Amino acid sequence: MGGRRNVLRNASRNHKRSFRNVFVHRDLQQQEASLPGTRKSVLISTTTQIPQEKHLREIVKLAKVSRILTLFCHQNADPDSLCSAFALKSLIEKIAPGTEVRIASPGGISAPTKYLIRNLGLAIPEKKPLNKIGVAVLVDTNNLGQLGAEASREIIESSIPLVVVDHHHEHPEMKGRISVEIIDSTSSSTAEIVAQLYEIAGVSVEEKLAEALL
């Protein structure tokens, strides 16, 4: 908890390093053009210190190509899953302007989570994503089975880019399916990982979302 608070505190400060400088690539257009047909796995190691900004860049590139991202929470979504999804939605909208970011919870959300979300003034997400999924981002979810049969089947049959942001260990069934994977099993929660992404991007966390992440 203390570590997450420190990260959030740092994320709300002004950063000397601009987001634009972090994400400039001379070959960006060439890489974006090749994204839809690729299934390159980009992993965060839990044993070596690999900068997470590389993986955040990959998500931004996917967003710029697809223009639509759907953040999926696991069945009976808990506060970590749903609050992380709301915070990640806000971050992506800031760093990839023009991207439509949706939140879906195919298996519904828990009663305590509903209570928390309403108290924070956030909207209860749809159980099913509207129309096109775009890029599927699993939040606090390390495998498609946790979404339920219908959502899992739809993602698999669509052959769309798949992103995982989670603090659980990598699921063996997901090998070869993932385009970008931000997994850190040393983090206490997915919210902590999302807070770190804010810090890396140099983006301030809105007060309401900071409260949700805590």
Q: Domain limits of the chain?
A: 2-12+41-213
C-alpha to C-alpha distance for 74 and 50, rounded to whole angstroms: 27
Statement: residue 30 has pLDDT above 70: no
User: Angle at which helices 2-11 and 190-201 pack, to 10 degrees?
Assistant: 20
Residue 129's pLDDT band (boundaries 50, 70, 90)?
low
Q: Is the dihedral angle over the CA atoms 174, 153, 140, 160 positive or is it negative? A: positive
Residue 77's pLDDT band (boundaries 50, 70, 90)?
very high
Mean pLDDT of 62-82: 93
pTM for the full model? 0.74
Backbone angles phi, psi at 170, to 5 degrees: -60, 135
Q: Mind listing the pLDDT tens digit for each residue in 133-160?
A: 999 999 998 888 888 888 888 888 888 9
Residue with tokens 């850190």: 184
- What is the DSSP pairing of strand 68-73 with strand 135-139? parallel
The CATH number of 2-12+41-213 is 3.90.1640.10
For residue 73, the model assigns a pLDDT of 92
> DSSP code of 36?
G
C-alpha to C-alpha distance for 170 and 163, rounded to whole angstroms: 12
C-alpha to C-alpha distance for 156 and 210, rounded to whole angstroms: 33
Q: Are 210 and 25 spatial neighbours (Cβ–Cβ below 8 Å)?
A: no
C-alpha to C-alpha distance for 113 and 111, rounded to whole angstroms: 5
| Residue count of the chain | 214
User: Angle at which helices 53-66 and 190-201 pack, to 10 degrees?
Assistant: 80
Residue 103 is encoded by which pair of tokens? 């939140």
Buried b / exposed e over 19-29, threshold 16 CB at 10 Å, is: beebbeeeeee
Mean pLDDT of 54-79: 93
For residue 208, the model assigns a pLDDT of 83
Residue 208 is encoded by which pair of tokens? 């309401």
